[in-house]
Structure formats: C-alpha cells, structure tokens
Amino acid sequence: NAGVTQTPKFQVLKTGQSMTLQCAQDMNHEYMSWYRQDPGMGLRLIHYSVGAGITDQGEVPNGYNVSRSTTEDFPLRLLSAAPSQTSVYFCASSRRTAVGNTIYFGEGSWLTVV
C-alpha cells in the first residue's frame, strides 16, 4: 500500500488492558485518520488529524485516544479494552491533489479482545 505502515498486524488483548496501534506514513500527508471495520458495515471513522498537533473525534471515538506530534505518526490508543472493540483497524492518510482528495490505507490491524 501507498506508504502507510501499521503495527501490529494481529493482537489479542484481555478486557481492561491498554495498548497502542502504531501508524506511520512517508508521503508527507497532512491528513491522517483511524477507522474500524466491522462485518456488514462500512469503515467508521474513529479519530482524525488535519496536521501535527491537531486531532478531532470521528463517528465512534469512545474508548480511543490519539495524538499527532509529528506529520508522519498517528498512534491510536485503546485505554481499557472491551470486547466491543474487537475489530479490524485501518490507519489512512490523505493528500489533496489538484482536483480533490485521495485516501490511502495501511494493511490493517486485527484486534481481538477477550
């Protein structure tokens, strides 16, 4: 995928544990975002950032925290994992072309909370 790197690929957590999903992009994109993907649903926005030092909530932000200290990195933190957070998580970054936006995704992080 176009320069968006996510780690880890797979993770199993116990309820109540915390963890951080890492995301980095090397395309100098200003806009970065985190989505979760659940069966039968479209990607849902968790948090996003329009630049270093700026973050905002998306559609489903509860239970997650983000920070954007650099243009390249946008980690997602699960504060106290719950089974409802079992999902596939995608980090994405976006550029603005001359005519519009195009968004690129990482390869995903499969998270299971037991």
Partner 1 sequence: GQQLNQSPQSMFIQEGEDVSMNCTSSSIFNTWLWYKQDPGEGPVLLIALYKAGELTSNGRLTAQFGITRKDSFLNISASIPSDVGIYFCAGLSYGQNFVFGPGTRLSVLP
SS3 65: strand
Q: How far is the CB of 110 from partner 1 (least distance, A)?
A: 8
Dist. CA 92–CA 107, nearest whole Å: 9
Q: Do 106 and 92 form a contact (C-beta atoms < 8 A)?
A: yes
Dist. CA 49–CA 9, nearest whole Å: 22
Q: Contact between 108 and partner 1 (CB under 8 A)? A: yes
Q: Contact between 30 and partner 1 (CB under 8 A)? A: no
Q: Contact between 14 and partner 1 (CB under 8 A)? A: no
Q: What is the DSSP string of 86-107?
A: -EEEEEEEEEE-SS-EEEEE--
Q: Contact between 33 and partner 1 (CB under 8 A)? A: yes
Q: Contact between 62 and partner 1 (CB under 8 A)? A: no
Region from 18-26, 32-40, 66-74, 76-84 binding partner 1, contact rule CB under 8 A: 32-40
Q: Where does this chain bind partner 1 (CB under 8 A)?
A: 1-2, 4, 6, 33, 35, 40-45, 48, 58-60, 90, 94, 99-108
